[in-house]
Amino acid sequence: MFIDPQFKSHIPALRDDEKKTLEESLVRDGCRDPLVVWQGTNALLDGHNRYEICRRLNIPFKITKISLPDRDAALAWIEDNQLGRRNLTPNQFAYFVGRKYKRQKKASGGRADRDFSGGKNDHPKTAESIAKEHGLTEKTVRNSAAFADDVDAIADVAGDEVKQKILSGEERMTREIIHELATDRDYLEKYKRLDNDWLEFQKKKDGVLAKKWTGDQESNTPEKYIEAARAVMGSIDLDPASNDFAQKTVKAKKYYTKHTDGLHHPWEGNIFLNPPYSHPEIKFFVDKLLSELKPKQQAILLTNNNTDTKFFHKASHQASAICFTRGRINFIKPDGQVSSPTNGQVFFYFGENTKKFIEYFDEFGSISDPWKSKMIASAKRRLAQIQNFLKGKGKTHGK
């Protein structure tokens, strides 16, 4: 028996907890289900995880052989067998549906490569039959095929480890981001030259995330917001995440770029911060701002309104006031083009000039005053305590 790398790449990797559970079961009960082997080649088709554990722990196992005409038939058997599993992730299920569609389409005489026509020249019976078999729509089947193409394109360069991370959901990416990674041929060639550097893949993924959800990292804040910040704080002494082009507008007394790295310098005076929005960079900049702020020091932080992130809640907890923008800010790129972000923005103000912040930023959106809200909530709790105390005292006197 031998392990065929391509066949193995079609077997979803187990999480650590799943592997531990399987190992405990094999030790306790033995290998009850036989491993499936392709007759005539002795290539393992099903049972890769059990095989690895049994070999390592010297647990006996049985095999059953099946006859298949060729390699394509063997891959088809593996994919169909995987679709019968109940614990597939959504990405794994979509991948195997897509592979099945591409295989059947090829067998029926359709093109097996990527169809850029959007599926209009498709063989409708192929999509229809698979859709009925798995309770899907024909559009979902075709979209699954495109997804499978994208995953395979990434795996051809990045390797099976990356593919498994995407399919298992460990590497959390939207289909749109996966597609952009897969179709960036310049990047894929660069990845090959870097000898499949996983860290480089992570950087690329973060860069795509930044572009998709926050705009170009070198996009700059329009002048009206900068002037409002200057009016509130009296001056802008430091811009710790900037560039030469942005300083034509910000005109900070001191600024740092990606080359001089503001994270490794002290932050003093009145700060205006529009950080890089890729992760984990945005977390590093926000954390440094919150830790560097001193009593009576002022700062204005501009980020996207990602209320589901930890950095957002940390900033909102410490901010004196918050402005949720009315609409989206069209940031300016160095070449003069205007960006079109996909979500709104928020300004966090830190300092004692809350009234002035409200005065200048009220025109840009809705203002939230966390400290005022906390004081009101605290006063209400205190009032409730007093009322409860008085009620209890009244009952005592009434006896």
Show me where the domains of the chain are located. Answer: 1-87, 88-213, 223-368
Q: Rounded CA gap, 263 and 42, in Å?
A: 57
Backbone φ, ψ for residue 359 (5° rounding): -60, -45
At 42-63, the pLDDT tens digits run 999 999 999 999 999 999 999 9
The answer as to CATH 3.40.50 being correct for domain 223-368 is yes
pLDDT reported for residue 118: 41
What pLDDT shows up at residue 297? 95
pLDDT-derived band at 256, boundaries 50, 70, 90: very high
Q: Are 207 and 258 in contact (CB under 8 A)?
A: no
CA-CA distance, 213 to 209, in Å (whole number)?
6
Instruction: Please identify which residue in the block is written with the tokens 């039959």.
Output: 129
pLDDT-derived band of residue 299, with 50, 70 and 90 as boundaries? Answer: very high
pLDDT of residue 215: 35
**Number of Cβ within a 10 Å radius of residue 285:** 23
Least confident of 97-101, 169-173, 310-314: 169-173
The answer, as to whether pTM is greater than 0.75, is no
Sequence-separated (6 or more) residues with CB below 8 Å from residue 344: 304, 305, 324, 325, 327, 328, 329
Tally DSSP H helices, then E strands, for the chain.
17, 10
- In terms of Cβ atoms closer than 10 Å to its own Cβ (0-12, 13-18, 19+), residue 239 is buried
Please report the beta strands in the chain, taking only residues with DSSP state E, as ranges in sequence order.
35-38, 43-46, 63-66, 238-239, 254-255, 271-273, 299-304, 321-325, 345-350, 365-368
pLDDT value at residue 351: 93
For 10-52, how does the pLDDT look when each residue is reduced to its tens digit (9 = 90+)? 888 887 888 899 999 999 999 999 999 999 899 999 999 999 9
- Residues sharing a CB contact under 8 Å with residue 63, sequence separation 6 or more, in sequence order: 1, 34, 35, 36, 37
pLDDT of residue 186: 64
Q: How far apart are CA 242 and CA 248, in angstroms?
A: 11
Please tell me the predicted confidence (pLDDT) of residue 199: 46
292-305 in b/e form (b: 16+ CB < 10 A) is ebeeebbbbbbbbb
Q: Given pLDDT bands bounded at 50, 70 and 90, which one contains residue 188?
A: low
From the centroid of its chain, how far is CA 19?
A: 25
Q: Which residue has the higher pLDDT, 215 or 44?
A: 44
Count Cα atoms within 13 angstroms, Cβ side, for 54: 18
Which residue is listed with tokens 């597939």?
88
What is the mean predicted confidence (pLDDT) over 220-225?
A: 92
Arithmetic mean of pLDDT, 145-153: 91
CA distance 186 to 188: 6
Q: Which of 254, 286, 249 is nearest to 270 (CA)?
A: 254
Q: Which amino acid is at 137?
A: T
Q: Rounded to the nearest 10 degrees, how much is the dihedral formed by the CA atoms of 140, 142, 143, 145?
A: 130
